[in-house]
Each structure stands twice: as structure tokens, then as C-alpha cells.
Amino acid sequence: MIIKRLSLYNFKNHTEKRFEFSPQINCFVGNNGVGKTNILDALHYLSVGKSFLGNTDLNNIRKEEDFFTIDAEVLNDDSEDQIKIFQPKESKKVIKKNDKSYDRMADHIGYLPSVMISPYDSNLISDSGESRRKFLDSMISQTDPEYLFDLIQYQKTIQQRNALLKYFAKNRVFDRDSLEIYDDPITGHGTKIFEKRREFVTMLNPIVQNFYGIISGGKETVSVHYESHLLEDRFENLLKDNLEKDRMLTYTSKGIHKDDLLFEMDDQLIKKTGSQGQQKSFLISLKLAQMSLIKELTRKTPILLLDDIFDKLDDTRVSQLIELVNRESFGQIFITDTHRERTESVVKKINEESIIFEL
């Protein structure tokens, strides 16, 4: 998958921008605040239909404008597709492929897989399990449309069950039969999600370990473990055994919506024992493993988005990363940096065609 052309209109700080890309390496250099990361965010939109920064769609419309548009030409094997994202202030977002709107945004996920490596990745280590669940869901959704369907249905049903629990508590009533209506869809969708998450992490872990060994020089051993209530018991039993607790809490206390990923180094949580350099190396290894596994499962090479990472790594780790890029054939790469000289130096070490855009 290659993004041939990109046009932005009223997207964040960009009134109008147009780029013709190299099929290999594209770099955006310039001072802080000129909108380098915003271009990567637009590319992320093309992939999954939303901002990687967590901004709402309306907040990405340029100030005092009424809409934003992201328009791109994507080379897909022997064909060329046009992808357009249009977000007006007064109505919902529209995503089109070759002038045909998707019925559901979820149908677009997986068409153009991507992996983003940015300074914000540190949140995966420091934040709550929700960040790591979203990361895991994003990875699997790009490889499996059925997974995304199950996830949407599960989340909708959990919300309905929780709303009913709150209604019972507020009105001091209880109807077990009404609550049990949600058991089958929750356990059905939830069990499929659990099994796919467990299988995916099992495949991901050795790839992370391999990349970390290359980047770090093999000084430590890292691992990714999947943590879930469903490793302890069947979902049906969890709902039944925790019913009284759920009534008291007014929400569903057990299930795959509480899953987490444990990131460990030498059998200890990396957020407690890992240095900044070790954590950065782990996160890059995790994202490269994500890219490798998506490529293996979909037979598509994801685009790789590198946001300001050379400023966060020492020379040794930069060299190891460049070696990996050369070895693994990661496909089309987009890089942001504040220093043109440093970018040119890094790119020269990669055996690929490159274009540098100065903003």
C-alpha cells in the first residue's frame, strides 16, 4: 500500500497543503508548531478514520472554518484508489473510497493499515489499562473485521447492562430476567474477543522480544503478557458469580472490558524498573512488532509513521533502528523532525529513495 498524493484543506493549522510522495521515505522538517505532526495525523485518519492524538473530529477543523477535508490517492497493488474524508461542523464525518461512501466507518478499517511511533507512546506504559486495551483493539481490528464487529457489539451491550443496573439502584427495584437478556450477547461476543486477543498477544510477544534484543543489544529480556478475567473462569460464570457485586457497584465488574497488557523487563513491570531509554526501546520494539504482525496476517505492508523519535533516542538506538528499517523492508515511511541536517544524515543510511519536505 502506497500513498501517492495527499491534499489537506482546513485541517488543524493547514489551510491548504498538497504533497506528492515518494513510495519509500518522506520526511517533514521544520520548527515546532508548523504542523509536522498534523500531517502524520492526517495520514493516520486515512488509515483508521480518526486522530491518533485523541482529538474529536470537530476540534480538527481549522479555526473559524466550517469543515476539513483529507484527500489522497492510494496505490493498492495494480489499482489506484481515491480516499476522501470530509468533516463538516454541522453533520457527521463522511469517508469515501472512489466516490462511494462507506455505510459504516468500520468497513474502512484494515484497508490501509498503519503504525504510528510517537512520543505519546509513553502513555502505553504509564497510563491505565484502557490505553493498552485500545492499542490492542486497534492492532487486531486492522487485521480482522469480525473482531471489530464483536467489539462494537460487546461495548454496546455492556453499556445497556450498566444502564439497567443503574436504573435498578436508582429506583430500588430489581428484575433478574431483564438483566439476563444481556448475558448471551455479552458472553458470545466477549469470549470471541478474549480468544482473539490471547492468540494475537501470543504471536506478538516473541516478535517484540526479537526487536528489543536488536535495538538494546540483548542486555535485558522483555515480554508482553495478556491479563484477563477470562483466564480464570468462563464468562457465564463470571457474570453469575458477580451479580450481587455488580448490583452494588451499578456496573459490570468482570469481563474483557477490564483486560490489560503487562509490559515486563526481566520479570518486573517495565514502568517500575525500566530506564527512559529502556522504555523507549521497548515501545519502538512493540510498534515494529505490531507492524510485522499486521503485515504477516493481512499480506499488506502498513505505512510507518515516525513522529519526532530521533530527538528521543541516543545515537546507538538510532543506528539500530535504521538497521532494522533496512533489514525488514517496512514499506512507505513518513518521518517528522526539527533538524533537517539530522534527518538527512539518518535518511542517507537507509537504502531507499527519499523526499524531504521543509515546512
From the annotation, which residues make up the binding site for ATP? 30-37
The DSSP output letter for 62 is: P
Pairing verdict, β 268-269 and 303-307: unpaired
Q: Are 306 and 335 in contact (CB under 8 A)?
A: yes
Integer CA distances (angstroms), 29 to 26, 37, 313, 339, 356, in order:
10, 10, 17, 6, 7
User: What gap in Å lies between CA 144 and CA 113, rounded to an integer?
Assistant: 11
Residue 206 CA to residue 209 CA, distance in Å, equals 5
- Looking up cell 535518511, which residue turns up? 347
Report which residue type is found at 18.
R
Q: DSSP 3-state assignment of 241?
A: helix
- Cell readout for 316 is 546507538
CA distance 310 to 23: 21
Count CA atoms within 13 Å of residue 285 on its CB side: 30
Q: Whose CA is closest to 109, among 77, 145, 70?
A: 145
Strands 222-227 and 79-88: unpaired
Cross-strand bridge partners of residue 226: 261
Q: Where are the beta strands (DSSP E) in the chain?
A: 2-11, 14-20, 25-29, 67-76, 79-88, 94-97, 100-101, 114-117, 222-227, 260-265, 268-269, 303-307, 333-337, 354-358
Q: What is residue 242's DSSP assignment?
A: T
Residues contributing to the annotated binding site? 30-37
